[in-house]
Structure formats: C-alpha cells, structure tokens
Amino acid sequence: MLVPVSRKKFDDLIPLVATGAQYKYCWGKFQDFLRRILVSIAALASILLVRWLLPIEELRGVSFFIGLFALVYWLWSPVLQASLRNWSYRRFKYAGFLRGEVLDIFITDEIVSTEENVNDRGDLVIVENRERRINLEVGDESGFVTQIQVPLKREHQAIRLGDTAEMLVLSNRPDLSRIAKVTDIFVARAGIWVSDYPYLRRDEFEAVSRQIDFVDSEGFYEDDYPEDRRVTQRDNDYEARPSRRPRYIQDDFEPDDFEERSVRRLPDDSDDFDRPRQRIPKTGAVDPNRRPRRRN
C-alpha cells in the first residue's frame, strides 16, 4: 500500500534542524569528539594569528565572532552534519507512506575501515575492520523491492519474514511512480526500527501509521474525513498484501541464527537509485475492475 503524504506532514517527519536522536548519532565516538576539539583549537589559533599579523581595526569585530564560532565548533558541528543529511532528503518534492512486508533477512560481513600497521618483522600489514550487518529486503504488492543494510543489533532477532514493514519513500514525481530514496524501516509488529541514521521523527511516523490504520478500518473516504486531521491522501481501495508463511527466527539470538551470504556491492552512488513501481498512478496497486466500497 502506498499513500501519498502532504508536504506539510513530510516536513514534520523529516525536520530541517537536527533532532535529539540525529544529534546523538552525529556526535559519534570519543575519537570524533577529540577530532572536533582539535579542529576548534586549530581554527581559533589561525584566527588569532591573522589578527596579530593584520591589526586592522575594522576586522576585529568580524574576527571576534568568527573566533567564537570556531571555539564552539565541537558543539555545533553535529547539528550541521545532521541538518545537511536531512536536507539531502527534504530536497525531494513528494513523499509517500509505503506499507509492505519483509521478504528476506540475511547477515553479511562488511569492511567498515582499513588500517596500515607494521608487524614485528617490519612488513606492512593492512588490517580490515569488519562489521556484521543485517540486510532487510522489503517489497509490496506492486512489485517494488528495496533493501536496507544496517549494523546488526540484538533487537533484530524479533524480525520475521512476512512482517509488515513501513517506511517513507521519496520521489520527484507527483504519482510516486519512481522511487528515488527510502528512509528508516519500521517493523510494526515488533515495534523495531531498522535504520542506521534516524531520518524520521519516529513519534510522528508512528502517529501517521496509526491514523492510516484508523481511516482504513473505518472505511472513511477523503471527503468524509475532517480537513484538520487529513494528513494524507489515501487509497480507499487496495488489495491485501500476499500471504506468506513466515520463517521464524529462534528466540535464543546468535548472529549465526540469520542466513549469511555475500551480496553484490552496489555503486557508491547507489543511494540515488531510481526504481520504477509497476502500479496504477495515484491509486496504488489495485484491481481497476474492483468496485469501491459503498459509503453508509
């Protein structure tokens, strides 16, 4: 099921300024904090050196404010990084609420960084730092399939094949016939978010999901729904997702409980994929001959 989302609700789901969760993510580890401190000190020292070499009265006020920003660079830098990430998604004109199902789950070992060291014999050794990651493949009844890869966490043991997966999809086409990017995935049954960087305001997204469930269960039409609560345009008639027999994952979680296999690496710019959706524009993947539900 694909439900177009209004621009106002889209801006609420992906804010322009970093949220607390996004700031925490961009804060990084201690090494990242130390690196920002060194940048602040180096920038402040450079500004003081310029003021000493060029004692121009008119530049003292400007250099003071620049020095102040450089002094607290370690503090506001995560805000800037998160805001730039948000903007890379907000630049798309249209968004939609997509509800599909988990089609596949598997684990891969990915190289996250490399280090060059010298062993006892003086030989150069390249050390690869690997990280186990979970790969989640999600699709819907229209044939659209996407895959997300995130670091493996213990909570991922609760995800099962056939679970309902919800996400926000972005496009530059009004009918969302071509999807450019996808956001975090929410597995509603287990209440688990599968993501690396938290693009969405999760409380807002869950509220939209509950509201769509309420509208769908009551069989409301667009004209019958109050204007102040109409956050999305919805498909009043869609076919249920195909039934799948879920393959359950053991409760005693170990990384080996997931199937592990290698995957074909996508290009570096694979985030900007452009996958067509085989669907009827503006109506979702529905049977055109099916009769709409009669209003009481």
Out of 36-45, 50-59, 167-176, which region has the weakest mean confidence (pLDDT)? Answer: 50-59
How distant, in Å, are the alpha carbons of 68, 128, 293 from that of 185? Answer: 40, 29, 30
Greater model confidence, 114 or 80 = 80
- Letter for the amino acid at 287? D
pLDDT at 1: 85
Q: Label residue 217 by pLDDT band (50, 70, 90).
A: low
pLDDT at 118: 79
Domain-located, residue 81: yes
Alpha-carbon distance of 282 to 176, in angstroms, equals 8
Greater model confidence, 76 or 254 = 76
Domain-located, residue 163: yes
The continuous run of DSSP H or E covering 64 comes out as helix 58-71
Domain boundary among 70, 88, 106: 88
Does one domain contain both 59 and 127? no
Domain boundary among 48, 72, 88: 88
Average pLDDT over residues 116-132: 82
46-55, 57-66, 241-250 — most confident range: 46-55
Does one domain contain both 35 and 96? no
Q: Label residue 55 by pLDDT band (50, 70, 90).
A: confident
pLDDT at 152: 92
Domain-located, residue 128: yes
Q: Which domain range does residue 117 map to?
A: 2-14+92-276
Residue recorded with tokens 């039409």: 221
Average pLDDT over residues 202-215: 88
Does one domain contain both 128 and 259? yes
What is the three-class DSSP state of 284? strand
pLDDT at 240: 38
Residue recorded with tokens 């620049």: 66
Does one domain contain both 103 and 236? yes
Average pLDDT over residues 230-255: 38
Q: Label residue 169 by pLDDT band (50, 70, 90).
A: very high
Greater model confidence, 155 or 296 = 155
213 phi and psi angles, rounded to 5 deg: -60, -40
Alpha-carbon distance of 253 to 236, in angstroms, equals 40
Does one domain contain both 77 and 97? no
> Is the separation of the CB atoms in 233 and 284 below 8 Å?
no
Does one domain contain both 137 and 47? no
Domain boundary among 46, 65, 88: 88
Does one domain contain both 80 and 111? no
Q: Tally the domains of the chain.
A: 2
Asked if residue 279 has pLDDT above 70, the reply is: no
Among candidates 29, 31, 36, which has minimal Cα distance to 80?
36
Alpha-carbon distance of 139 to 79, in angstroms, equals 33
What is the reported pTM?
0.67
Does one domain contain both 200 and 254? yes
pLDDT tens by residue, 61-71: 778 888 888 88
Asked if residue 216 has pLDDT above 90, the reply is: no
Asked if residue 266 has pLDDT above 50, the reply is: no
> Is the separation of the CB atoms in 257 and 249 below 8 Å?
yes
Does one domain contain both 56 and 182? no
In the chain, % of residues over pLDDT 90: 47
Domain-located, residue 220: yes
Q: Label residue 134 by pLDDT band (50, 70, 90).
A: very high
Does one domain contain both 76 and 185? no
| 3-state SS, one letter per residue, for 91-119 | CCCEEEEEEEEEEEEEEEEEEEEEEEEEC
Buried b (16+ CB within 10 A) or exposed e, 122-143: eeeeeeeeeeebbbbbbbbbbe
Alpha-carbon distance of 25 to 129, in angstroms, equals 20
> Is the separation of the CB atoms in 189 and 163 below 8 Å?
yes
Does one domain contain both 68 and 150? no
Does one domain contain both 247 and 216? yes
